[in-house]
A and B are shown apart, each in its own frame.
Chain A
Amino acid sequence: MINLLLFPIILPFFFAILLLFFKEKIRTQRILTLIGVVVSLASSLVLLWTVKTEGIQAITLGSWPAPFGISMVSDMLSALLVTTTLLLTLFIVIYSFTSIGEERERYFYYPAILFMVTGVNGAFTTGDIFNMFVFFEVLLIASYILIVLGGTKKQLRESLKYILVNVISSALFVITVAYLYSVVGTLNMADISVKISEVNQPGIITVIAVLFLIVFGIKGSIFPLYFWLPGSYAAPPIPVLALFGALLTKVGIYAIMRTYTLFFIHNTGFTHEILMILSILTIIAGCIGALAYFDLKQIIIYNIVIAVGVILFGASQMNEAGMSGAVFYLIHDMLIKGALFLLIGVIIYITGTSNLRKMGGLMKTHAPLGWFYLIAAFGLAGIPPLSGFIGKLLIVQGAFEAGNIWSGIIVLASSLVVLLSVMRIFIYAFWGESKVALPKTNRKTYNRLMAPALVLVVLTIVYGIGTEWLLPFMTDATDVLLQPSIYIDAVLK
């Protein structure tokens, strides 16, 4: 089964096409989507296990020799990300059954999700830089549909901006690939890495490295390029927001991690210094935003920005501890952001508003929601037994080992701000007395919305407690990132 690594990409694609034929039959759509995601998840778990036992899986499509065809490469990092993506999609799809509304379901909501998952999984798995551009477009065009679907005034306004920003960054991506092609004359990522080593990274390659940072920085929202994210992400409904918040920026982060550990490793004093400074500024900008708002959505959205900064800061240290911390934190952040968005979706459903000042006293009526939100909030901040702890611990350890004491302290201080921002939601929404009468809500709907959110929170708890069990997977992922020769040998065998 050498095609195993293609299954998590092809299966969602196949089911998305199948769904196009059942536009009006919402029940059929739901069942097919569920089957599609579960089957894809199963295949990705098999893939994860295969990568663990047999090492990196790589094929070049059409049996061409490696640098000439399109290579697909599944190392531990991409296998982990693909599995996490499908896991999150499963919960968000189940949540959508209750939350998204028939009007949207009738207009290709589920196919758009599956096409987006195809793009995300493809971008995680590809070993060809132009193919990565194509998969980026696949996920972006599907995300355009998801962000505007429904066509409310706010969505139309914000999606115009979202699409414009992404069109410009896509053009920049094409330009950057053109420059890179003219210098190295190849598109295969392993081959590019070899060619850059041969010419020993002249100045032009460093310029291209910075261009890549700008392109992927716009997708992944790092400091001076994150301006589009808070407005755009606040527009779509909660399940779409959860999908975007958990997956889309992470594709940009993955691309930065991949290019900065595979291509541009010969002049790290310049490129990785820039990456580190920008990620620290990203953390600070995110912290300011997270404290500034009294809106549930905006607080969590700015926490995405903070997490982007923390992950990239860990990756920019280029040592064992920092890198494995970044991988731990990346997976943790996908899970916890998914869980948090689903939970605040439930809060918004109960109270009918996302304004913190109009809430209060939910603990009396909805205690389980409160406790699970508290656990997720502690997990996000990194309280020891929970999932965010080990990643941040390793990242800070990496920073101290690399001699970046002050940056490490800023990362630690950002945890306090994160905790403060999410605890403010807890205090304002759950404590005290209810300020306005709650709108009448259906208990059955509430239970159906709670179920996927709770399971996701439980999963993050397991992720935190099972650190020891996950460590061998993370070590494999880190090894490939720190030693590009493993990746190159697997592709150009």
Chain B
Amino acid sequence: MELLMAILIGVLFTAAVYLILSRSILKIIIGTGLLSHGAHLLILTMGGLGGSAPPVLSDGVTDFADPLPQALILTAIVISFGVTAFILVLAYRAYAVHKTDDMNQLKGNDEHD
């Protein structure tokens, strides 16, 4: 199971890197989304996929899933959610001001401002 997850995460990272290297801002943001998905799945996988019961105390269960990676993922998810919301609004503002979503045209220097 871990091997399968590792391959899946590898595919996610590949897609993320490909999208981040593209020119359109929106594709880049989709790439960062995939990157954080990959990172979160990686925490889950690296914590070990063992354990048969969810990490909630209940009678007669001794084999819990590791609760720590789940807490880490939850933290990382809200952080990347906040940052993604910010970067989406920023991309919108940049589009409104610069009239382009092509990263190559956002080079410029002081003379172009």
The answer to whether B113 and A152 have CB atoms under 8 Å apart is yes
Contact pick for A175, options B39, B68, B75, CB 8 Å:
B39
Could you tell me which residues of chain B, from 28 to 85, have a CB within 8 Å of some CB in chain A?
28, 32, 35-36, 38-40, 42-43, 45-48, 68-69, 72, 75-76, 79-80, 82-83
* Nearest-Cβ distance from residue B66 to partner chain A, whole angstroms: 9
B71-113 interface mask toward A, CB cutoff 8 Å, 1 = contact, 0 = none?
A: 0100110011011001100110110011000000010101001
The answer to whether A163 and B83 have CB atoms under 8 Å apart is yes
The answer to whether A164 and B28 have CB atoms under 8 Å apart is yes
Could you tell me which residues of chain A, from 28 to 57, have a CB within 8 Å of some CB in chain B?
none
The answer to whether B83 and A151 have CB atoms under 8 Å apart is no
The answer to whether A171 and B36 have CB atoms under 8 Å apart is yes
Residues of the A chain whose Cβ atoms lie less than 8 Å from the Cβ of B28: 164
Could you tell me which residues of chain A, from 167 to 204, have a CB within 8 Å of some CB in chain B?
167-168, 170-171, 174-175, 177-179, 181-182, 187
The answer to whether A156 and B46 have CB atoms under 8 Å apart is no
In the bound assembly, the distance between CA atoms of A241 and B38 in angstroms comes to 33
Cβ-based interface call for A367 (8 A): no
Cβ-based interface call for A402 (8 A): no
Q: For the complex, would chain B's binding face be called helix, strand, loop or mixed by DSSP majority?
A: helix
* Nearest-Cβ distance from residue A68 to partner chain B, whole angstroms: 10
Residues of the A chain whose Cβ atoms lie less than 8 Å from the Cβ of B68: 181, 187
Residues of the A chain whose Cβ atoms lie less than 8 Å from the Cβ of B32: 164, 167-168, 171
- By the criterion of a CB under 8 Å from any partner CB, how many residues of chain A are at the interface? 30
The answer to whether A174 and B76 have CB atoms under 8 Å apart is yes
The residue of chain A having its C-beta at the shortest distance from the C-beta of B37 within the complex is: A171
* A134 in contact with B90 given A153-B97, A168-B20 (CB within 8 Å): no
The answer to whether B93 and A151 have CB atoms under 8 Å apart is yes
Residues of the A chain whose Cβ atoms lie less than 8 Å from the Cβ of B45: 178
Contact pick for B79, options A134, A154, A159, CB 8 Å:
A134
- Counting residue pairs across A and B whose Cβ atoms lie within 8 Å, the total is 95
* A160 in contact with B97 given A154-B110, A179-B46 (CB within 8 Å): no
A127-138 interface mask toward B, CB cutoff 8 Å, 1 = contact, 0 = none?
A: 000100110010
Max count, chain A CB within 10 A of own CB: residue among B20, B79, B98, B110: B79
Max count, chain B CB within 10 A of own CB: residue among A134, A141, A160, A161: A160
Max count, chain B CB within 10 A of own CB: residue among A161, A177, A179, A187: A177
Chain B interface residue number, banded: 35 or more
Contact pick for A160, options B43, B46, B83, B106, CB 8 Å:
B106
The answer to whether B98 and A163 have CB atoms under 8 Å apart is no
In the bound assembly, the distance between CA atoms of A144 and B35 in angstroms comes to 20
Residues of the B chain whose Cβ atoms lie less than 8 Å from the Cβ of A182: 46-48
The residue of chain B having its C-beta at the shortest distance from the C-beta of A167 within the complex is: B32
Cβ-based interface call for A25 (8 A): no
* Nearest-Cβ distance from residue B25 to partner chain A, whole angstroms: 7
* A181 in contact with B46 given A174-B39, A175-B39 (CB within 8 Å): yes
In the bound assembly, the distance between CA atoms of A178 and B90 in angstroms comes to 30
The answer to whether B93 and A156 have CB atoms under 8 Å apart is yes
24 A/B residue pairs, CB under 8 Å, sorted by A: A137-B79, A141-B83, A144-B86, A151-B93, A153-B113, A154-B110, A156-B93, A156-B94, A157-B98, A160-B94, A164-B87, A167-B83, A167-B87, A168-B32, A170-B83, A171-B32, A171-B80, A177-B72, A178-B39, A178-B42, A178-B47, A181-B69, A182-B46, A182-B48
Closest 6 CB pairs of A and B: A182-B46, A178-B46, A174-B39, A178-B43, A156-B94, A171-B39
Chain B residues close to A by CB (< 8 Å):
20, 25, 28, 32, 35-36, 38-40, 42-43, 45-48, 68-69, 72, 75-76, 79-80, 82-83, 86-87, 90-91, 93-94, 97-98, 106, 108, 110, 113
